[in-house]
Amino acid sequence: MGNEITYPLEFSYALNVAEVCKVLDTDQTSGITNAAAEERALKFGLNIYQSQKKKSIWMMLIGQFKSPIVYLLFAAASASLYFGNPIEAISILVVILLNALIGFFMELQARTSMRALKKMDQIFSKVIRHGKLKELPSEQIVPGDLMVLEAGDMIAADGRIVQFNQLQCDESALTGESFPVMKQLEAISGEAVLADRINMVFKGTAVMNGNAKVMVTATAENTELGKITSLVDHAQVTTTPLDLKINQLTKKLIWITLIMTGLFSLSAVLEGKSWLVILETSIALAVAAFPEGLPIVATVALAYGMLLMARKNVIVKKLSAVETLGGVNVILTDKTGTLTENKIYVELLGFPDEILRVSIEQGVLKYLSGSSQSSEENLQKLILVGTLCNDASLEDKNSGKKAIGDPVEVALLHLTEATGTSSAQLIAAYPRIAETAFSAETKMMATLNQHKNLNFVAAKGAVESILEKCTQIQSGKETLPLSADQKAAIILAAEKISADGLRVLAFGFREAPGISKEHYLEKLVYAGMVGFLDPARPAVKDAISTCRSAGIKTVMITGDHPMTALNIALKTGIATQQDQEVIKGGELPDMGSLSQTWRKRILSAVVFARTTPKQKLEIVEVYQKAGYLVAMTGDGVNDAPALKQADIGIAMGLRGTQVAKEAASIVLKDDSFISIARAVAHGREIFQNIQRFVIYLVSCNLSEIFIVTLLSFLAPQTILLPLQILFLNMVTDVFPALALGLGKGDPTVMQKPPRDPKLAIISNKNWLIIVLYAMLITASVVLAVFYCSSFVSRDPDILNNVAFITLAFAQLFHVFNMSSNHAGIWSNEVTKNRFVWLALLICILLIFLVYLFPQTRLALDLSVFSIDAWMVAISASLLPLILVQLYKIIWGKANGNSLPGKTGLI
């Protein structure tokens, strides 16, 4: 290789496989070399297309100046210049710049966190390079790569099919074609529209069935998806539910400000106050109303919380999903791998004449009951079928390569090795010439293999499905006709095995010359069955119990056998001895005409077995119509519709297909239900943190509105100036609020019922608490001003400074009022939050630094005043904290609960 390749390769559908390989300078069996891959990666770039251009650093900085409050401050600076106060004008401009820089760095941190999350959620693709199969991030795929596709894969690049088996792709997102497209290998003559290029696969579409090897012909912007996406000229901004709630909150604050400003302006005009005083006070009120850092603090808190969740094996793909998580009250979960360990062990061998309990110890098959002497022929055939009808591979201790494939198939290979037979030698002696991939409809997999002059058919799957294809039975060394009574007996034996919690697979075979590739699944011989044990995860029962305490119902939906499902449900606590109803998919009626009786039965059931993907989707819809907020787990191609339909779709990261991961809002890196419970708890904690700092910010800002309004009537000369308020908003608001957003949250969050996601971020009950907080802070400032006026100094400048200091420290101490009601005063989630202490330290240092330098004192109209005035300010600032904590103690002793409203935040 080394020729100049033609790229992007146009009309590759019109070329045969050899021509495509020649043009792309690659090989249809070994792919490109590693050196060629590196060279092409440098030449053609990463296989990424960004539908939305990222804001540059400069645009992000400029964006900090695009807000009503900044426009208002520019107006204030202009007014100061007009009325001959250049120092104040310069000070306002400096504060605008500082505010913008704080917002800029916080937004930059949020973007960095989101980038880290995106890296954790990389999609991987399989390619053959230099003759070796590799799994690598999809962005590293280059033209000429030989991609290996299987059912459930999201296709990472456009490519020409070079080898396939029953390949079907869902191209609806690209072409609008409703049904999966059956692919072909032959070149297409003439020009063909996209939907007719059936020897090609396309980036962004999904493999629904079969498998294939594909030569990559286009990546990134040169793919068909990239061409369509590039037609979009501007980025679309998505508003999350949390953004909408924050916008609604801002509108309420604007109305409060307008009312306060209107009342003040009216009285000021009637009293004959100067227009300059009216203008400055109105600006101060407007500045006080806006919690400038709220949107960015919310984003940082969400991104930080999501990053922590990702480190705990839960990747949240959408910011809005965090909010929804807090309201989930039903989890519809799969069984295998989610509730169980997904580590399959061969536990039982079932033959026509005997059932044997076995175990594999140190790589050797041990018989715990009986022996296989009378069923030796059946065992050999079962091992042969289990090895050939298998797409897994065992671990290689020398190279450190892990076992790859379905855990059941890995267990079958371990069984083969445990009998002293080499699975690799069997596979080499029986090369595969055709296969039927497993599907939810057929519930079986089969292969056609060549051995010397004979063909060998190997089939494994559900007992009922295999028996349907069998006409004979292996009995010792004889092959006898399989009667209806024998079939019934085998099914009954399988039922009994499943009742013990084992997963059962049956095995069939056929050996004859000249078996047709089209009709090889006929006249099979039944060889036996295997019982597999997939034990429940040790901590799942506690996780389900935790969910139940949190008001969340857990329901198992599985395609597995009813008795196997019930056994695991009982062991994990989903089902109880009093509640053991299992609804089978076959008995579910048409959901389009569901009776009220059946609707109630579905909503009360805790286990659904032998369900189809369509039924999973319909069960989700039944719960949603009943008003439930549903989380749904899934891993397969056919789970994607249900994952999309659910309020929270949860895909399995280990065994989940790429299609399922794309459809889901959350991906579990460890496939464990325990991680789902943790995700719900963490989602509640994150939203509670957001609610906590919103209450903190709004109560602080509302107190500023009250203070400015009251002082404008009671002591106009002491009124807080716009620049002083803005400084407080930057210092005493943003840093403590951010610290609250990064806290660990209430440890009892899973002992409370789910939150209604339709409720505003601040409920009416919260507003009552916020007003009480604001009134306490306002009272402390007014009290400090009048006490100081009576006993320390009547100087308006000193009184203004006392109001400023009292408000600053009252807001800082107010952060400790944000702990949960049940928590202790000295030991709670706020006092244990190291970020809170760091934020307080920074804020106090900044306040004292402002007083330390004459230039900053002058800018904020501050002056050096006596220790007595300082003592008054600090003492008064502690009053809101003391009163709230005393009230908590008194109310807690009297009621054993929280304050009215049970907000959990006061």
Instruction: Give the residue extent of every domain in the chain.
Output: 12-53+122-229, 241-300+684-895, 314-340+537-671, 346-533
Task: Report the predicted TM-score, pTM, of the whole model to 2 decimal places.
Answer: 0.67
Return the SS3 of 149: strand
Q: Domain 241-300+684-895, what architecture?
A: Up-down Bundle (1.20)
Which amino acid appears at position 761 of this protein?
I
Residue from 27, 153, 170, 334 carrying the catalytic annotation: 334
Question: Does domain 314-340+537-671 correspond to CATH entry 3.40.190.10?
Answer: no
- pLDDT < 50 regions, the chain: 1, 51-52, 232-238, 897-906
Rounded Cα gap, residues 459 and 479, in angstroms: 17
| CATH architecture of residue range(s) 12-53+122-229 | Distorted Sandwich (2.70)
Rounded-to-integer distance, Cα 71 and Cα 66, Å: 8
Sign of CA dihedral 900, 901, 904, 906: negative
Cα 338 from Cα 359, distance rounded (Å) = 24
β-bridge partners, 150 = 211
For the record, the structure tokens of 889 come out as 């103690």
Handedness of CA 702, 704, 709, 713 (dihedral sign): positive
| Domain covering 346-533 assigned CATH 3.50.50.60 in the classification | no
Alpha-carbon separation of residue 264 from 260, 277, 288, 705, 799 (angstroms): 6, 11, 14, 11, 21
List 129's β-bridge partners, or say none: 132
pLDDT (0 to 100) of residue 254: 73
Query: Cα separation of 856 and 858, whole Å?
Result: 5
pLDDT of residue 905: 43
> In 3-state terms, what secondary structure has residue 450?
strand
Q: How far apart are CA 72 and CA 454, in angstroms?
A: 87
E-state strands within 764-869? none
CA–CA dist 801, 229 (Å, integer) = 58
Give the gyration radius of the chain's Cα atoms. Answer: 35
Helices (H) and strands (E) in the chain, counts: 30, 25
In angstroms, the Cα distances linking 352 to 256, 262, 285 are 82, 91, 87
Least Cα distance to 350 among 560, 543, 155, 504 occurs for: 504
Residue type, 775: M
Contact by Cβ (8 Å): 149, 167: yes
Q: Is 647 a catalytic residue?
A: no
pLDDT at position 692 is: 87
